[in-house]
Amino acid sequence: MYHQYDYLVHKYDFGKGGRQLFADYIPVIGNDIPVALTFLEESGLKSVKGELRTKEFKIEFVGLRNGTVVVDGNGRLVRLIIPDQKLEVVREDLL
């Protein structure tokens, strides 16, 4: 269900940096909308398995809502936060 975030992060060009705009199909609304990703920082999350190196992005569903996407070094979703929907998803199998 959350693979679209992995897909978007893999399209992000770190050489270019900054805010990058993509078209993304959103199943809930059944349409493509512009989605912007902005790389914020690299950090780490502590877990029982040790520290997991992560990359954090601001995600903007242009004209709808904003949030935060955190991925591991392989670009797999670790955490998704969409405050105005009161949504937080944490992928426990990586932690």
- Each domain of the chain, given as residue ranges in start order, spans 3-94
Of 73 and 49, the structure prediction assigns the larger pLDDT to 73
pLDDT of 86 higher than 80:
yes
pLDDT of 33 higher than 90:
no
The string of DSSP letters for 55-71 reads EEEEEEETTTEEEEEEE
pLDDT of 92 higher than 80:
no
pLDDT of 95 higher than 80:
no
Q: How confident is the model at residue 16 (pLDDT cuts 50, 70, 90)?
A: very high
Mean residue pLDDT of the chain comes to 88
